[in-house]
């Protein structure tokens, strides 16, 4: 069969050259691109977004409850009243008015920041990128929970960092494991640049770091002189409790804090922020200027106007109560349909449930059969940098309706039942135990 061709004029070697789908730049990319893997979640989106598939995979916020007419009015006023400012370049650190409002938001979690300490970013994802750019050289170690947020692992990989996982349990990161891991990494002659942690309603593990452990983690990092990067997009989305005190609240010099409006308002504006000690903040602003000149002015002023004109606290409560209903639907369906040999977290907020499969099942191997049965999830290995997580999966309840969640879990239980029957009939066919680096496997997350 002939090779597929594209028009000659698009060919980078000039007119007349024959173009194939082979990448002619393959030997020219920077080494770091080898670490930029396509996200497992993104690869899934294409299939999972078909209407017949119940996607329990992606963590898209469910913004159907936003009062769009009122938001439209606010945006219209923004264009009419301040359009020339909103559509102009602006400060690399971010709009001063928005930074002040961000301080009010963070006060809900005990953070007493000054607007000067805040850098506005293009979502907290860009905050992660800037922090890593500012701190990490190739080979530097970043400590991450086991498991950890797939988007953060992607950033750390792209800057050629070595990710070393630290064990968690149902109270979050284990302080003793943290201390031990720092010692082991240092004994191996490596530099720990920071601990990356998601203390509230963890993505993907769905657990929350207890108050006592927050103090312990901060003390351990202070003793060991390790910076803490606290990523907190879900902290205000608790179902039954008041927001917990942020780690940053008790260690402003030791902690860089990341926040986001993606889950409490809407992700499409791409507005997040970083709060950092002064010297770090200066570096972040310079990095922000080289990356984007300034974060998008229009988005910032839109978020700022939303915060000024709307009951944003009430909207967060309404999001949380919707997500609680979704969580309840998922937990009830898991209780009803899943085998007792599987276990899962019971989240008190956020978007996710972390499932540990019955012994011997491999979530990655099972995925294609699940998609055939019209249900999708994210296999646990996506959340580890070291190959662990084969027996786990992340289920998201944020986006689908409760009815679809119930149906998705029912389908998934059917797939799992068939897998278990096959195993019983033919014995184990999956891979053996995952390999371990320094990390401890996340087997006790139940
Ligand atoms: C833990 C965590 N951090 C950061 C992000 C990035 O969020 P955004 O860039 O939309 O603020 C996400 C998104 O899902 C997340 O779950």
pLDDT number for residue 428: 60
The band of 58, judged by pLDDT with boundaries at 50, 70 and 90, is confident
Q: Is the CB of 59 under 6 A from ligand 1?
A: yes
Q: Which residues pair with 230 in a beta bridge?
A: 197, 257
pLDDT of residue 442: 33
Distance 126 CA to ligand 1 centre (A): 9
Q: What is the pLDDT of residue 248?
A: 98
Task: Tell me phi and psi for residue 33, to 5 degrees.
Answer: -65, -20
Q: How confident is the model at residue 439 (pLDDT cuts 50, 70, 90)?
A: very low
Going from the Cα of 203 to the center of ligand 1, the distance in angstroms, rounded, reads: 9
Give pLDDT tens digits for 378-395: 999 999 999 999 999 999
Model confidence at 44, pLDDT cuts 50, 70, 90, reads low
Q: Could you tell me the pLDDT band of residue 19, with boundaries at 50, 70 and 90?
A: low
Q: Which of 57, 58, 94, 203 to mutate to test the pocket of ligand 1 (most atoms within 8 A of CB)?
A: 203
Measure the N-to-C terminal CA separation of the chain; round to a whole number of Å. 52
For residue 187, the number of C-alpha atoms closer than 13 Å in the C-beta half-sphere is 7
Ligand 1: atom nearest CA of 126 is 9
- Check residue 425 and give its pLDDT: 83
**Ligand 1 centre and the CA of 158: distance in Å?**
17
Average pLDDT over every residue of 275-294? 97
Residue 115, classified by CB atoms within 10 Å of its CB into exposed (0-12), middle (13-18) or buried (19+), is middle
- pLDDT tens column, 215-250: 999 999 999 999 999 999 999 999 988 999 999 999
What's the pLDDT at 433?
Answer: 33
What's residue 41's pLDDT? 59
- Answer whether 273 contacts ligand 1 (Cβ < 6 A): no
Kindly state the average pLDDT of the residues 146-173.
96
**CB atoms near residue 292 (< 10 Å):** 14
Is the CB of 233 inside a 6 Å radius of any atom of ligand 1? yes
User: What per-residue confidence (pLDDT) applies to 208?
Assistant: 97
Whole-angstrom distance, CA of residue 194 vs CA of residue 251: 14
pLDDT in tens, 349-369: 999 999 999 998 999 999 989
Question: Confidence class of residue 9 from pLDDT cuts 50, 70 and 90?
Answer: very low
CA distance 366 to 343: 17
The two tokens of residue 89 are: 């370049």
- Eight-state DSSP code of residue 55: E
State the pairing for strand pair 54-55/172-173: unpaired
**Structure confidence by residue, pLDDT tens digits, 263-273:** 999 999 999 99
Per the CB < 8 A criterion, the answer to whether 367 and 297 are in contact is no
Among the listed residues 44, 63, 38, 115, the one whose alpha carbon sits nearest the alpha carbon of residue 322:
63
Are 349 and 175 within 8 A, CB to CB?
Answer: no
Dihedral sign, CA of 349, 353, 354, 358? positive
Length of the chain (residues): 446
Query: What sign does the dihedral 176-181-184-190 (CA atoms) show?
Result: negative
User: Measured from the CA of 351, which atom of ligand 1 is nearest?
Assistant: 16
Share the mean pLDDT of the chain: 90
Please, which pLDDT band fits residue 262 given cuts at 50, 70 and 90? very high
Per-residue pLDDT at 32:
84
């Amino acid at each position: 069969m002939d090779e597929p061709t594209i028009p000659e004029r698009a060919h980078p070697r000039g007119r007349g050259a024959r173009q194939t789908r082979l990448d002619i730049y393959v030997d020219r990319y920077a080494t770091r691109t080898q670490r930029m893997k396509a996200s497992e979640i993104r690869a899934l989106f294409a299939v999972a977004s078909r209407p017949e598939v119940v996607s329990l995979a992606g963590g898209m916020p469910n913004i159907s409850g936003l009062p769009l007419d009122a938001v439209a009015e606010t945006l219209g006023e923004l264009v009419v009243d301040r359009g020339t400012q909103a559509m102009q370049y602006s400060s690399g650190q971010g709009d001063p008015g928005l930074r002040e409002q961000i301080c009010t938001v963070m006060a809900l979690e005990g953070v007493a920041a000054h607007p000067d300490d805040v850098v506005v970013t293009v979502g907290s994802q860009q905050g992660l990128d800037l922090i890593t750019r500012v701190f990490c050289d190739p080979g530097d170690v970043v400590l991450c929970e086991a498991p950890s947020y797939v988007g953060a692992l992607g950033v750390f990989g792209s800057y050629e960092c070595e990710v070393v996982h630290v064990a968690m349990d149902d109270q979050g990161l284990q302080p003793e494991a943290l201390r031990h891991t720092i010692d082991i990494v240092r004994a191996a002659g490596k530099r720990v640049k920071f601990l990356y942690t998601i203390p509230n309603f963890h993505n993907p593990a769905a657990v929350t770091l207890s108050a006592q452990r927050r103090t312990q983690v901060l003390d351990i990092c202070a003793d060991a002189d390790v910076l803490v990067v606290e990523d907190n997009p879900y902290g205000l989305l608790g179902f039954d409790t008041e927001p917990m005190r942020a780690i940053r609240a008790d260690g402003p010099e030791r902690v860089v804090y990341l926040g986001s409006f993606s889950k409490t308002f809407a992700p499409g504006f791409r507005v997040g922020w970083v709060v950092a000690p002064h010297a770090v903040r200066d570096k972040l602003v310079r990095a922000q200027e080289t990356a984007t000149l300034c974060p998008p002015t229009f988005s910032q002023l839109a978020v700022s106007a939303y915060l000024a004109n709307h009951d944003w606290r009430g909207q967060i409560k309404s999001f949380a109560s919707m997500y609680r209903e979704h969580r309840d639907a998922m937990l009830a369906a898991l209780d009803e349909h899943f085998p007792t040999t599987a276990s899962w977290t019971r989240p008190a907020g956020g978007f996710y449930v972390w499932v540990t499969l019955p012994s011997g099942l491999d979530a990655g191997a099972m995925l294609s059969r699940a998609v055939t049965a019209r249900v999708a999830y994210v296999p646990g290995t996506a959340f580890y940098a070291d190959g662990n997580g084969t027996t786990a999966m992340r289920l998201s309840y944020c986006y689908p309706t409760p009815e679809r969640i119930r149906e998705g879990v029912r389908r998934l239980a059917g797939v799992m039942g068939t897998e278990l029957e096959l195993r019983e009939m033919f014995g184990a066919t999956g891979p053996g135990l995952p390999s371990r680096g320094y990390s401890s496997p996340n087997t006790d997350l139940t």
